[in-house]
């Protein structure tokens, strides 16, 4: 019988998520203006990994990567990016008038290093490499993906982006289920963050005025994004059973 990995159930996953939040929050609350953001990320994520390693008694996931077709990888990245344009942007622009939004980060090298490199790598190892993989040993892959997506949304503490984060978490979870390749989901996560940075910089928003869901995006941009999204979705549905990698708990 293969060795089971943590988390072994949803309760374990919630505890692990709370532990990560408890370890990371003080660094972001008290050190944001004192040391560079990448240094905070590295310290907080490293301590989180160390803590999870200790409480799991060396029973965390052994990370393995599987070769993934270039076509599937490209479709997943394009699907994630087009979903951000169609879902992430309008939900953020609408919700920011009703719920607190996180303080926007300035566009600089520290921000790019943190959001495009460190955050995707560490968050995907934690959320998909540990939490999702463990939950799929207990639950069906669909339920495990949904659970992990909600945890992914909650741990960001950014309510204005909550729906966008939830959708992104679902897509990243499905991509990991299809590929068992953390490199793919890390790339998708990085592309999502890069798109978010570009949108915030090119189309700044204000909470003092009503905003249309898509703001300054042209009809052509949205049409192309919608067509890409539909084509990617059709491809993923039609080829769903051809490249399943992770085995649901029932098998």
157 pLDDT exceeds 80?
no
Q: What's the confidence (pLDDT) of residue 75?
A: 84
Which bin fits 203, alpha (ψ -120 to 50), beta or left (φ > 0)? beta
Q: In sequence order, what DSSP letters do the residues of 40-102 get, joined into one string?
A: HHHHHHHHHHHHHHHHTTT-S---------HHHHHHHHHHHHHHIIIIIHHHHHHHTTTS--P
Q: Nearest to residue 182, comparing CAs of 127, 134, 135?
A: 127
The CA-based angle 150-155-161, given to 5 degrees, is 75
- Find the mean pLDDT for residues 171-194: 87
Q: What's the confidence (pLDDT) of residue 151?
A: 92
Band of pLDDT at residue 60, cut at 50, 70 and 90: low
Domain positions in the chain: 66-238
User: What share of the chain has pLDDT > 90, as a percent?
Assistant: 8
Band of pLDDT at residue 149, cut at 50, 70 and 90: very high
Euclidean distance between CA atoms 238 and 251, whole angstroms = 22
pLDDT tens for 84-115 read 777 766 666 665 655 555 555 556 777 788 88
Peptide bond into 127 cis (omega under 30): no
247 pLDDT exceeds 50?
no
Which are the contacts of 205, defined by CB distance < 8 A and separation ≥ 6? Answer: 92, 93, 96, 211, 215
Instruction: Find tokens 């979870």 and name the residue.
Output: 173
Band of pLDDT at residue 246, cut at 50, 70 and 90: very low
pLDDT tens for 194-228 read 877 776 666 555 444 444 545 555 556 667 777 88
Angle between the N-to-C axes of helices 37-55 and 10-30, in degrees from 0 to 180, rounded to the nearest 10:
150
Whole-model pTM? 0.80
Q: What's the confidence (pLDDT) of residue 148?
A: 94
Euclidean distance between CA atoms 111 and 98, whole angstroms = 26
């Amino acid at each position: 019988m293969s060795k089971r990995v943590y988390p072994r159930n949803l309760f374990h996953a919630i505890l692990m998520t709370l532990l990560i939040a408890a370890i990371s929050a003080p660094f972001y609350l008290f050190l944001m203006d004192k040391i560079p953001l990448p240094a905070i990320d590295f310290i907080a994520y490293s301590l989180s990994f160390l803590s999870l390693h200790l409480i799991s008694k060396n029973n965390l996931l052994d990370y393995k990567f599987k070769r993934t077709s270039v076509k599937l990888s490209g479709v997943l990245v394009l699907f994630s990016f087009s979903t951000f344009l169609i879902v992430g942007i309008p939900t953020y622009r609408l919700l920011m008038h009703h719920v607190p939004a996180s303080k926007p980060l300035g566009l600089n090298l520290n921000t790019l290093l943190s959001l495009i490199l460190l955050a995707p790598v560490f968050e995907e190892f934690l959320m998909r490499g540990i939490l999702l993989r463990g939950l799929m040993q207990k639950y069906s892959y669909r339920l495990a993906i949904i659970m992990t997506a909600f945890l992914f949304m909650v741990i960001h503490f950014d309510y204005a982006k909550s729906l966008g984060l939830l959708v992104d978490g679902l897509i990243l979870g499905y991509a990991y289920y299809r590929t068992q390749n953390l490199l793919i989901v890390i790339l998708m996560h990085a592309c999502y963050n890069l798109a978010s940075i570009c949108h915030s910089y090119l189309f700044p928003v204000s909470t003092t005025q009503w905003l249309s869901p898509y703001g300054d995006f042209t009809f052509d941009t949205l049409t192309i994004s919608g067509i890409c999204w539909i084509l990617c979705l059709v491809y993923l549905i039609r080829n769903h059973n051809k490249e399943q990698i992770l085995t649901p708990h029932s098998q």
